[in-house]
Amino acid sequence: MQKHQEKKYDCKTCDRSFISLHHLNQHVRASHPEIKLTSVKRGTASTPEGNSKRVRREGGALNTFTSTFFQPTENKRLNNLRINVFGYEENEVFPLYVSKRIDEECVNLLLIANEETQHYCLIRKMSRLLGDLTKHKTKHHYCYRCLHRFAKVEILKEHLQYCSEHSRQHIKMPEKGENFIKFQNVHYQHPLPYVIYADFESFIVKEVHTSGNTEIIARHEACGYAYVIIGPDGRSVKPISVYRGENAVQHFMENILKEKEELAAKLTSIVPISMTPQDELDFR
């Protein structure tokens, strides 16, 4: 389930709002070229307080540098590079721009921004940056469009055949208490005229053998059953059928097929409607 992020950055020239300073700068440069963006000298910008902990903790996976404006499409054209840009908000990493190129080698950048400035961090190892999302300490291979991880490159390549057809994704999991879906439109269900409820009883017979990697120590052998047929009025059509003895499963199937033939005959038979004079008046 995807949750839309709150737009925090407003354009002072028009009425548009954006979720990050990076997107606001892109909009200003494209729609309002008369406005000059103030540049920030390298090394003078500070990492936002909420993000500095993450950058220090993942220091082995990142190289940080400052940039007030960055165009992935322009840079990849001039330098012949495959560049991907990822955002970082609310303690989550998500894709902002993913190149359509399929080069094996690529440059991954992490954009960290606040209201004053922004940082681009070179992601040297995506597996280390996102390593806290799993307890497995081995190297993982990530899809840059959805950030799903895979243990083998072969599985990742199979996934890319389908994922590359879609745009980048930011997956948001539902909050606790909202992570259950319950069917509520019961009134849209098609009513069934007859329902059969059945139950089996069985003996546990000891039987020791192996099947593949599974060791079987016992099996269930049916010894009896019971079933009841409920009609359209919610009442049983006939008394409960009960059987105890050998070949219970075969006996059950034979009886159920007979019941099916009887019920099908009732459903397919056309009975003329018997209407009283009052029924005819109500129908009109």
- 1/39 Cα distance (integer angstroms): 38
Task: Give the pairing type, strands 107-113 and 83-89.
Answer: parallel
Residues 203, 182 contacting (CB under 8 angstroms): no
Torsion angle of the four alpha carbons 123, 128, 129, 133, in this order, in degrees rounded to the nearest 10: 160
Q: Confidence band (pLDDT; 50, 70, 90) for 189? A: confident
pLDDT tens-digit series, residues 94-111: 888 888 877 667 888 888
What's the average model confidence in pLDDT over 121-136? 80
What pTM, to 2 d.p., does this model score? 0.41
Instruction: Return the structure tokens found at 53.
Output: 């902990």
In this structure, are residues 70 and 110 in contact, taking their beta carbons and an 8 Å threshold? no
Q: Is the dihedral of CA 184, 187, 191, 195 positive or negative?
A: positive
CA distance 217 to 208: 4
For the ranges 69-83, 84-98, 165-179, 256-270, the lowest mean pLDDT is seen at 69-83
Is the pLDDT reported for residue 39 higher than 50? no
What number is the average pLDDT over the span 112-120? 79
Q: Which pLDDT does position 20 carry in this prediction?
A: 72
Q: What is the pLDDT of residues 147-188, one digit of tens each?
A: 888 888 888 888 888 888 888 777 777 888 888 888 889 888
Residue 42 pLDDT grade (very low, low, confident, very high; cuts 50, 70, 90): very low
* Domain map (residue ranges) of the chain: 81-165, 191-268
Cβ-Cβ contacts under 8 Å for 16 (sequence gap 6 or more): 10, 27
Query: CA quadruple 209, 213, 214, 215: dihedral positive or negative?
Result: positive
d(CA 191, CA 69): 61
Q: What is the mean pLDDT of residues 85-102?
A: 83
> Residue range 31-37: average pLDDT?
65
The kind and range of the H/E element at 221 are strand 214-230
